[in-house]
Structure 1
Amino acid sequence: MSYIGTKTKKVTAYGRSRTAIIAVHEDFTPIKDKENIPNRLLHSPSANKRPPLLVKPSSNDGGNVRKPTSSLIQKGGSDETKAIQHVNIKQPEVQREKEDQRSKDDRQEKQGEETQRGWGHSRSSRSLLVVRRTPVKRAAIIPHTPPPKQKSSKGGKKKRQVISCVEIVSNKQSVQPPPQSLAQQIPNQPSTISTIPDVAQNISALTRQLAQINISKPLDLVPSVQPTKSLNRLLSTCTTSTVIPLDDLFYSPAFRGLFRYRADHIIRKIGEASYSEVFAVKMKDEELVVKIIPLHDGRSVEWNVEEHGGRDYPERSEVEDVLREVEVTKRMSKLPGGGFVEYKGTFIAGGIYSAELLEPWDQFKSTIGSASTRPDCFDSEQLYAVLVLNDGGIDLESFNFDPVKGWEQAVGVFWQVADSLGRAEDWARFEHRDLHEGQILISSHPQTHTQTSNHLDPSSTGIKTTIIDFGLSRLDQQFTFEPIYAELPEEVYEGVGDQWNVYRNMREVVRDRWEGFHSITNVMWLHYILKYMLHRIPSLRKPSLPGPLRPVRRGTGTRSRIKPDPPTEAALEAYAMLCKIDEAMKNSLVGKKGRVDFESAGEVVDWGRAMGWVE
């Protein structure tokens, strides 16, 4: 296809330093002011005024580029024409006039000069254009994959680009440069004018390269999931039904959508269990708890205990067990009156632990200590269930009670936990079956009712309790009333201590009928929590009467003490109350005569109301 004599102008491709020769039609408005234009540039024959090229929206490019109606661009199927079809140029104001009466020899000489430049086409049907340097607010658009939007420059000023003799005011926002690896593959364009075939070739090559770019996670970083019935059921209950790389989880829109605000997050480890690691993720002033549970997928793992300092490979949970815990957590977070942890969401993640998680894990071990194996031992095929919960505070084991009001707070902990269990028994026939000191969280609460002694009211006690972790719990489903339960693993019967005694006592009561409802197990765990606060918390010291003994009064032979101040008197009353509850519950559980018979946590609360201890 020949282009000798074609009226052209130099245009730079959008956002890059390459140029193209764009053929322009000859039937433009004649130049009226001939005096200001050199005669050597006046070569165009006169033509009638023609409006700018009309355009129609194209359905193939997302509405960003319109299809020109010019006959030059519409006809022909060559690569050069296709390249032009992708270009939409809103023409600047151009003028032309009849060319001077020049001799045929002069025109041939001009044609020879242009042929030597490589333009080698006839100019019989088109003439050279004269383009004024007057800035025109038009845009030249080359279709391409839209880059991510960036914030506009300060003051909202439009960025201006000058292309040859035409000034273009770009309404597009600033864009990011292409990736380094892709930019290196684009050949450097010369500063001189390039031919249309070059532009077409470059656009075609760039299009192929962009088509090969995949912004999703590389496949080798996402575990190859073999879907099972249990895993599909678990995915169906999750916030998203796809597996997310573990190192991308905290940046995913689904996870960040659980927070009220979007901001940079901070991760710290706050706890651990036999089957999970617990972290806190904070954005601004909001903090959520993330429980990461490795899933057992049936794969065998080679592990040398001696090479890892005598530590075993981390425990992994069965998918069915995690599914049960998720369902129980969802159900109990809706308990009227609260008292159980608030459920936020669940995700299935895969891959290795990133440094973002390993660094807080190491810090936790160096400051507090850890009995778990460092989770960097998991490979890229490992799957995890990630439970996201509301932050309920500090667990009972780590909570520091107030030096003055500590025993009043302890009374509040006991009655609030007992009340939550009692309501759950009536609402869903619930048993926790694993309610040790690590499963009760305590948070501070504004103490606004200091004149009352309602131990069930957080505004009176200054603390609020939350029950967590339902891996071994039992309850009835909401509509079918089918039980959700788990049999206790055999290893819990082998431990030594009060906690392990409770497991063995439960087995004697349940007698392998774990699907049934046995509310007395809640009484067993309430008694365990009570004894733990009375004897094993360092910040709770047994209160004593203040002051020395007064001298013996004459004629009486007795000594008397100074009357305690109100805080000490309140501590003595709270401690005495807990001791009486301990004695009553112990007698009930061992079956002594004259005992108070407690069969459920609800009956314990009713007894407390009868004693005038709770309202």
Structure 2
Amino acid sequence: MEESPSPKNFGTWSRGMEQNYIVHDLSAILERWKISKHAIFASSKPLFDIMETPLVPSIHSYCSRSNNTLHNSYKTPEKDRGSAHSTRRTIPSGFTDNGLKNIVNETSIVTSFSKLSTEEPNDTIVPSLSGEAMTASSQLLLVCRQSAPITLAEAFSTYCKPESIVKLGEGTFGEAFRAGSTVCKVVPFDGTSLVNGETQKKSEEVLEEVLLCLTLNNLRSDRGDNVKENSCDGFIEAKDFWVCQGPYDPSLISAWEDWDAERGSENDHPNDFSSEQCYIVFVQGDGGRDLEKFALLDYNEARSLLVQVTASLAVAESACEFEHRDLHWGNILLDRDEMPNKNQTMTFTIQGKRMCTRTFGLNISIIDFTLSRINTGDAVLFLDLSADPALFEGPKQDKQAETYRKMKRITKDYWEGSFPKTNVVWLVYLVDIVLQKRYSTFTSKDDRELRAFKKRLASYDSARDCLADSFFSDLLSDEDTQPSSLLLL
């Protein structure tokens, strides 16, 4: 469970003669999240339904540009990730704020969070307004259905007993713990102290990351009569989000120290944070182990990995112009069914066409959207990587570093734009990883097919194009079991 480092220095936007600040119009991000007078939820529904009712405008956040830079190193090929020291920027559509204060006072967001009640609307969750604007931190509380932060102990007690918490991993920005059947990522934000040598994320960045996760969560497969134009289960399931404040709970400290004693943590001890530190807790499904640590059994599992990642990216491209932009082997989780068989399938829908793919009992989940680019419908969320030249200075011949440089050439440093070919270069990287692992069960014929597939990938402009490749033709079918290579071309 790793994350891309947060930007250390902010970029600059110019408006006329005004310079040296950046505006986060977070209200535009929230425009399409459904508002209703009654809190309705069911465990089978997505966390949010993207609708058309606007929310409140945010107070613009003006951030001065810093000249700080951060050294970016790669310990081993594909081992360490490039850091993103740029600023996530939001490009909003037009937005009017007339009368929105009344809308917010009278309504509440429709979610499927386990913390909600289905009986009566909860008006107390709406944070107080100042005029017609809310701060990013207030909007974050609103999206998380909270009137105020809670403690980490209160958040974790929702999913398990304190003594059962186990640390699973760590990243630049925080820690990952198993809590019952969920994985909880704890990320500090809005503090003044450094976290593992990095500047803490701001409320604006956390809010955008939450909303990006929710947009992808809304792609989860059709259930009941809710038929979607595009759907898949290839992105990690977001189950909950909590805004917390206060010291680390002793149960988390114990789990952290157990990990440290066994493996040696590279992160700062959680006791270093102040007693007033704020955290966001991302509660996710358990996707298994990352590809770096997961051993594929055979060539069929390798093809299953490639087709599921490709299909997931293709669906997200079609639905919301999604580009992951950091899909290294630490950001793909894999889990194997207890009794796998060659006839197991995964279903997805792309542009209204219902498709199936054979999985051979392997299930994948894509994680970590820190560098991702997405169009929510009213706002484009992206990270301006042009402010982080160190990201593109990794060692030559390193597959991950070379992939960042390929993205830079594709986008020409215009990171706001839609360039689905960035997904293709990560698929090329993924084929390289499979070849590099040199699984003993692979035959020379398997290697030749993978290398031929990699060569063909270079001619495609999107993951959707890649999905039509003959490499997947015997894995994919539509509801009438017709070969997908004919259906997608």
TM-score range relative to shorter protein: 0.5 to 0.7
In structure 2, how many angstroms separate the alpha carbons of the residues matched to 1:241 and 1:453? 42
Deviations 1:278-330 (A, max 9, x none): 11101xxxx10111111034x3x4x8xxxxxxx95455212221111111111
Q: Which amino acid aligns with 1:343?
A: A
The correspondence of residues 50-89 of structure 1 with structure 2, limited to 5 A, is: none
The correspondence of residues 519-558 of structure 1 with structure 2, limited to 5 A, is: 519-535=420-436, 537=437, 540-543=438-441
In structure 1, how many angstroms separate the alpha carbons of the residues matched to 2:184 and 2:290? 15
Q: How far off its partner does 1:523 sit?
A: 0.6
Question: Which of residues 344, 352, 356 is equivalent to 2:251?
Answer: 356
Q: Which residue in 1 is equivalent to 2:383?
A: 486
Q: Verify the 8 A CA contact 2:374 2:382 in the aligned structure 1.
A: yes
Q: Which residue in 2 is equivalent to 1:579?
A: 451
Relative to structure 1, the CA distance from residue 507 to residue 451 in structure 2 (aligned partners, 3 Å threshold; closer, same or farther) is: closer
Deviations 1:237-279 (A, max 9, x none): 114231112233323xxxx2xx5xx767621111222122111
When normalised by structure 1's length, the TM-score is 0.49
Relative to structure 1, the CA distance from residue 448 to residue 531 in structure 2 (aligned partners, 3 Å threshold; closer, same or farther) is: closer
The correspondence of residues 294-333 of structure 1 with structure 2, limited to 5 A, is: 294-297=188-191, 299=192, 301=193, 312-313=196-197, 315-333=199-217
Matched, 1:246 2:152: yes
Q: Verify the 8 A CA contact 1:295 1:319 in the aligned structure 2.
A: yes
In structure 1, how many angstroms separate the alpha carbons of the residues matched to 2:198 and 2:260? 16
Relative to structure 1, the CA distance from residue 603 to residue 244 in structure 2 (aligned partners, 3 Å threshold; closer, same or farther) is: same
Matched, 1:477 2:376: yes
Local SS of the residue matching 1:602: helix
Deviations 1:450-472 (A, max 9, x none): 36999996764110111111111
Deviations 1:18-68 (A, max 9, x none): xxxxxxxxxxxxxxxxxxxxxxxxxxxxxxxxxxxxxxxxxxxxxxxxxxx
The structure whose Rg is larger is 1
Q: Which residue in 2 is equivalent to 1:549?
A: none
Q: Which residue in 2 is equivalent to 1:422?
A: 314
The correspondence of residues 180-219 of structure 1 with structure 2, limited to 5 A, is: none
Q: Verify the 8 A CA contact 1:432 1:522 in the aligned structure 2.
A: yes
Q: How far off its partner does 1:524 sit?
A: 1.0
In structure 2, how many angstroms separate the alpha carbons of the residues matched to 1:326 and 1:505? 28
Relative to structure 1, the CA distance from residue 237 to residue 581 in structure 2 (aligned partners, 3 Å threshold; closer, same or farther) is: same
Local SS of the residue matching 2:468: helix
In structure 2, how many angstroms separate the alpha carbons of the residues matched to 1:249 and 1:448? 35
The correspondence of residues 157-236 of structure 1 with structure 2, limited to 5 A, is: 229-236=135-142
Q: Which residue in 2 is equivalent to 1:274?
A: 172
Relative to structure 1, the CA distance from residue 520 to residue 271 in structure 2 (aligned partners, 3 Å threshold; closer, same or farther) is: same
When normalised by structure 2's length, the TM-score is 0.60
In structure 1, how many angstroms separate the alpha carbons of the residues matched to 2:264 and 2:428? 28
Q: How far off its partner does 1:525 sit?
A: 1.0
Relative to structure 1, the CA distance from residue 451 to residue 266 in structure 2 (aligned partners, 3 Å threshold; closer, same or farther) is: closer
Q: Which residue in 1 is equivalent to 2:328?
A: 436
Q: Which residue in 2 is equivalent to 1:27?
A: none
Q: Verify the 8 A CA contact 2:144 2:241 in the aligned structure 1.
A: yes
In structure 2, how many angstroms separate the alpha carbons of the residues matched to 1:514 and 1:598? 20
Q: How many equivalent pairs are there?
A: 324
Q: How far off its partner does 1:381 sit?
A: 1.6
Deviations 1:555-606 (A, max 9, x none): xxxxxxxxxxxxxxxx565444322212333xx2xxxxxxxx2101111111
Q: How far off its partner does 1:423 sit?
A: 1.0
Relative to structure 1, the CA distance from residue 367 to residue 578 in structure 2 (aligned partners, 3 Å threshold; closer, same or farther) is: farther
Q: Which residue in 1 is equivalent to 2:407?
A: 506
Question: Which of residues 289, 300, 306 is equivalent to 2:183?
Answer: 289
In structure 1, how many angstroms separate the alpha carbons of the residues matched to 2:314 and 2:206? 25
Question: Which of residues 233, 236, 251 is equivalent to 1:341?
Answer: 236
Q: How far off its partner does 1:521 sit?
A: 0.5
Q: Give the percent of matched residue pairs that are identical in Structure 1 and Structure 2.
A: 29
Local SS of the residue matching 1:514: coil
Q: Verify the 8 A CA contact 1:292 1:386 in the aligned structure 2.
A: yes
RMSD: 3.0
Q: How far off its partner does 1:500 sit?
A: 2.3
In structure 2, how many angstroms separate the alpha carbons of the residues matched to 1:459 and 1:446? 16
Q: How far off its partner does 1:498 sit?
A: 2.2
In structure 1, how many angstroms separate the alpha carbons of the residues matched to 2:233 and 2:204? 27
Matched, 1:408 2:297: no
Relative to structure 1, the CA distance from residue 379 to residue 610 in structure 2 (aligned partners, 3 Å threshold; closer, same or farther) is: closer
In structure 2, how many angstroms separate the alpha carbons of the residues matched to 1:237 and 1:512? 32
Matched, 1:237 2:143: yes
Q: Which amino acid aligns with 2:136?
A: S
In structure 2, how many angstroms separate the alpha carbons of the residues matched to 1:365 and 1:529? 31
Deviations 1:203-262 (A, max 9, x none): xxxxxxxxxxxxxxxxxxxxxxxx9711111111114231112233323xxxx2xx5xx7
Question: Which of residues 464, 470, 488 is equivalent to 1:608?
Answer: 470
In structure 1, how many angstroms separate the alpha carbons of the residues matched to 2:183 and 2:330? 14
In structure 2, how many angstroms separate the alpha carbons of the residues matched to 1:325 and 1:454? 27
In structure 2, how many angstroms separate the alpha carbons of the residues matched to 1:508 and 1:439? 23
The runs of 5 or more residues in structure 2 that have no matched partner are 1-132, 220-230, 348-354, 478-489
In structure 2, how many angstroms separate the alpha carbons of the residues matched to 1:279 and 1:458? 32
Relative to structure 1, the CA distance from residue 239 to residue 407 in structure 2 (aligned partners, 3 Å threshold; closer, same or farther) is: farther
Q: How far off its partner does 1:425 sit?
A: 0.6
In structure 2, how many angstroms separate the alpha carbons of the residues matched to 1:453 and 1:269? 32
Q: Which has the higher contact order (CA 8 A, sep 6+)?
A: 2
In structure 2, how many angstroms separate the alpha carbons of the residues matched to 1:396 and 1:523? 18
Relative to structure 1, the CA distance from residue 344 to residue 312 in structure 2 (aligned partners, 3 Å threshold; closer, same or farther) is: closer
Local SS of the residue matching 1:598: coil
Q: Which amino acid aligns with 1:326?
A: V
Deviations 1:513-571 (A, max 9, x none): 21211001001111112211211x3xx52447xxxxxxxxxxxxxxxxxxxxxxxxxx5
